[in-house]
């Protein structure tokens, strides 16, 4: 049977696609739920078990850590890719808070900062090994570059817990993350449905080689590719910077203009920059294309102020604190999940739910109007947290 372009669009629209798309599609009854959202029904947020664990069609893999069991207190090293943005600062604070809460179990917590340089981070890891750490926590600048030194640590019997950014081989005890693949799928599916299954998308990426970026874009493209009238115009890199996000999106607006119907943004800082680029280009209220985002206060504030659709799927920096707890469990010989998914929240501007993507909470309930655009909403450090004054010794 031949399918015309128009009928193919209707086919995908009516079935919410097949294959990968089916993983995120909901029942046909979603339309009724959407009708309810127009009235602004109450959304109290999601507080259950992390959903990637519940959604996974596969068994959850656990690592037997009995070989690493030893008496404490422990010397733990953390090799950080860098502190180039607020998200990474909050992740570090989350880790320091977790160490402070477990100070009877941690004798030393040694932190290095690679300033987003692969060679520097490899050297940092080697130095931490030479200092005799009991365990390494690593957030890799790029997956390929850090893989050999992480694998060497594991071969020497030093357990490695990854957080935020992983390494290519999977040669580690556990990876504390927020499930990048579901984030990529859900963001892409929401954009497809908000655009009524046709339109042009810009992919606004972070840094080339960073695992969260890669692990979101690949499944997102698997979604986009199922819809023949969704066209990815371009993919640009912002290095997770608001300023660069604004610069590269300004270039995209100059190149494509009103052809841009949606922006697949993966990091809230750069999304704020993207929105500012549209405002500077003269886009008025309700005219800015639909955006996706994570974690940051600014994109949601701007979406509400300027009346355009936005889907925020948190990638909480609180995963840093989770990584510390995984480290302690490992050194006590407790089984740990190979992929440890932290809970995250789906937030939408009101009225912008779709058949497949429903809100846990509304953006206007989640934002902090009193906080700056780069304030992290998912740091897990309490309502009084201020990154400028944070001091873990006071905990």
- Write down the pLDDT at residue 393: 84
Q: How far apart are CA 275 and CA 285, in angstroms?
A: 12
Examine residue 159 and state whether it is found in any structural domain, yes or no: yes
Q: Do residue 304 and residue 195 come from a single domain? A: yes
Token look-up 């995250």 returns: 344
Token look-up 């789906």 returns: 346
Examine residue 146 and state whether it is found in any structural domain, yes or no: yes
Domain with 349, as residue range(s), is 5-41+180-313+345-366
Q: What is the pTM of this model?
A: 0.83
Q: Do residue 173 and residue 193 come from a single domain? A: no
- Write down the pLDDT at residue 41: 64
Q: How far apart are CA 230 and CA 207, in angstroms?
A: 24
Distance of CA 329 to the CA centre of its chain: 24
- Block means of pLDDT (10 residues each) for the chain, length 395 residues? 37 40 32 40 82 82 97 97 90 96 97 96 97 97 94 97 93 93 95 98 89 89 97 94 95 97 93 97 98 95 98 94 97 96 93 97 95 90 89 85
Q: Do residue 213 and residue 361 come from a single domain? A: yes
Examine residue 197 and state whether it is found in any structural domain, yes or no: yes
DSSP 394: G
- Write down the pLDDT at residue 149: 96
- Write down the pLDDT at residue 14: 44
- Write down the pLDDT at residue 40: 53
Q: Do residue 257 and residue 144 come from a single domain? A: no
Q: Which of 342, 332, 335 is nearest to 61 (CA)?
A: 335
Examine residue 84 and state whether it is found in any structural domain, yes or no: yes
Q: Do residue 92 and residue 127 come from a single domain? A: yes
Examine residue 166 and state whether it is found in any structural domain, yes or no: yes
Q: Do residue 93 and residue 191 come from a single domain? A: no
Q: Do residue 191 and residue 294 come from a single domain? A: yes
Q: Do residue 328 and residue 304 come from a single domain? A: no
Q: Do residue 83 and residue 148 come from a single domain? A: yes
Examine residue 386 and state whether it is found in any structural domain, yes or no: no
Q: Do residue 230 and residue 349 come from a single domain? A: yes
Q: Do residue 69 and residue 125 come from a single domain? A: yes
Instruction: Give me the number of domains the chain comprises.
Output: 2
Examine residue 388 and state whether it is found in any structural domain, yes or no: no
- Write down the pLDDT at residue 256: 97
Q: Do residue 107 and residue 83 come from a single domain? A: yes
Q: Between vectors from CA 188 to CA 185 and to CA 193, what angle results, nearest 5°?
A: 120
Give me the CATH number covering residue 274.
3.40.50.2300
Examine residue 52 and state whether it is found in any structural domain, yes or no: no
Q: How far apart are CA 344 and CA 315, in angstroms?
A: 6
Distances (CA, A) of 58 to 36, 53, 335: 33, 9, 18
Query: Phi, psi at residue 204, to the nearest 5°?
Result: -100, 100
* Strand-strand pairing, 310-313 and 346-348: antiparallel
């Amino acid at each position: 049977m031949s399918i015309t372009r128009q009928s193919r669009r209707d086919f995908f629209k009516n079935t919410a696609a097949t294959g990968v798309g089916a993983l995120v599609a909901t029942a046909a009854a979603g339309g009724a739920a959407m009708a309810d959202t127009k009235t602004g029904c109450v959304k109290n947020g999601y507080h259950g078990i992390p959903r990637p664990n519940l959604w996974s069609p596969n068994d959850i893999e656990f690592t037997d850590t009995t070989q690493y069991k030893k008496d404490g207190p422990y010397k733990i090293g953390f090799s950080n890719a860098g502190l180039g943005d607020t998200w990474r600062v909050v992740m570090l604070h989350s880790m320091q808070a977790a160490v402070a809460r477990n100070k009877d179990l941690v004798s030393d917590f040694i932190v290095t900062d690679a300033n987003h340089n692969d060679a520097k981070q490899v050297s940092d890891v080697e130095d931490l090994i030479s200092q005799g750490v009991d365990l390494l926590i690593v957030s890799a600048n790029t997956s390929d570059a850090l893989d050999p030194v992480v694998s060497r640590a594991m071969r020497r019997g030093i357990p490695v817990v990854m957080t935020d950014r992983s390494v290519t081989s999977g040669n580690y005890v556990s990876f504390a993350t927020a499930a990048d693949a579901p984030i990529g799928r859900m963001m892409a599916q929401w954009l497809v449905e908000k655009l009524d299954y046709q339109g042009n998308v810009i992919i606004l990426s972070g840094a080339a080689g960073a695992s969260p970026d890669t692990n979101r874009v690949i499944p997102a493209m698997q979604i986009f590719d199922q819809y023949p009238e969704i066209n990815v115009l371009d993919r640009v890199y912002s290095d997770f910077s608001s300023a660069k996000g604004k610069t590269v999106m300004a270039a995209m607006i100059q190149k494509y203009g009103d052809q841009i119907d949606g922006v697949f943004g993966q990091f809230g800082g750069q999304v704020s920059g993207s929105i500012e680029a549209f405002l500077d280009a003269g886009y008025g209220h309700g005219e800015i294309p639909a955006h996706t985002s994570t974690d940051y206060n600014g994109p949601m504030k701007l979406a509400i102020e300027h009346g355009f659709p936005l889907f925020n799927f948190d990638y909480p920096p609180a995963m840093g604190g989770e990584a510390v707890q995984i480290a302690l469990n490992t050194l006590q010989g407790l089984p740990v999940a190979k992929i440890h998914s932290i809970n995250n929240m789906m937030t939408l501007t009101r009225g912008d739910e779709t058949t497949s993507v429903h809100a846990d909470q509304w953006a206007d309930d989640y934002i902090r109007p009193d906080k700056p655009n780069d304030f992290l909403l998912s740091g897990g450090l309490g309502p009084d947290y201020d990154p400028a004054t944070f001091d873990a010794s006071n905990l």
